Structure 1
Amino acid sequence: MSDILNWIERAMVRTEIDRSSGCWLYNYDISHNGYGRLDVDGKRVRIHRLSYGAFKGEIPEGVLVCHRCDVRNCWNPNHLFLGTPQDNFDDMVSKGRNILYTPGSPISPKLTEPQVLEILSRIASGEDNKSLAEEFGVAGSSISKIRKGKTWKKLTVPSSGQVMSAEACPPPHVSAPSI
């Protein structure tokens, strides 16, 4: 029990309560994808999972702790629920959060489609992530994600090395993301 109180006390010092939403916003150690993290017993653990376990009970293996509020660094136990990856995906779709970037949308990436086409062409020619990232003013991880097809999926580099835009590619199959 003292271990639980210990991490709760440490977390509360680094938490802002959003009075309008009720979110407990942990703002100290945030992962690259927006989840609050805390070190407990030498392991870095997502704080919303700690919260669910401490306030609501055990989390079965393979089950996700999902956010009703859709705020990844929130750890208010009243905002958390258990679900499968499919439940989490369905929740995202039901709330309209599955919108992919399309030109003219209010979500604006740092890179434009012509820039990504240039990057893909240069990747096909063997250029490294670091030099491309420096030239285009983005993180190396952004170039890596383009290279691996994790972002800008509508653009491809066929085996011929020629870059194709979405219009020349068959429509992608959309499925639940792996979490």
Structure 2
Amino acid sequence: MKREALLDAAEAVLLEHGTQALTLTAVAERAGVSKGGLLYHFPTKEALITALVSRVIAEFDALVEEYERQPGASFTRAFVEATFAIVAVPDGERTGRRWAAITAATTTPELAAPLREAMDRWHHRDEAEDADPVAATVVRLAAEGLWEVVAHGSGRFSPEQYTALRRRLLDLLG
């Protein structure tokens, strides 16, 4: 079984049953592999959680980079676009899966360290590219808050509301 499928299984366990249910046995059962098969890729629960968090960060970074390549894009614009590309999906499953991984990571400071480093990088980037660095910071923090709200109550906003929120955040950047 591929590593990504094991991570998908772990995310599903987290999303459906919560952090306390995340055990290597539960993940192996969900993935339909032996525990030994899982241990080959992830020798500990901590290694599994670290991989989940790394995947969340890498996927978000890749999406931000994709949006940054668009003409006239700044990092903050790309951050907003990437955020809405994830949180504004109709079923909210992607957000729930990602948030489950992040929640699992925050159980110990060591496991949360990569996420803290990514947050520092995302929110303390060279602000010279933004016409108004304070507005850019406010917009990134608002987008970060949207992650939190949506993760704890998906479906809270209609597609029209997401569109309006996205537009307003981008407008704040000038």
What is the TM-score when the length of structure 2 is the normalising length?
0.25
What is the TM-score when the length of structure 1 is the normalising length?
0.24
More strand by share: 1
Higher-Rg structure is 1
More helix by share: 2
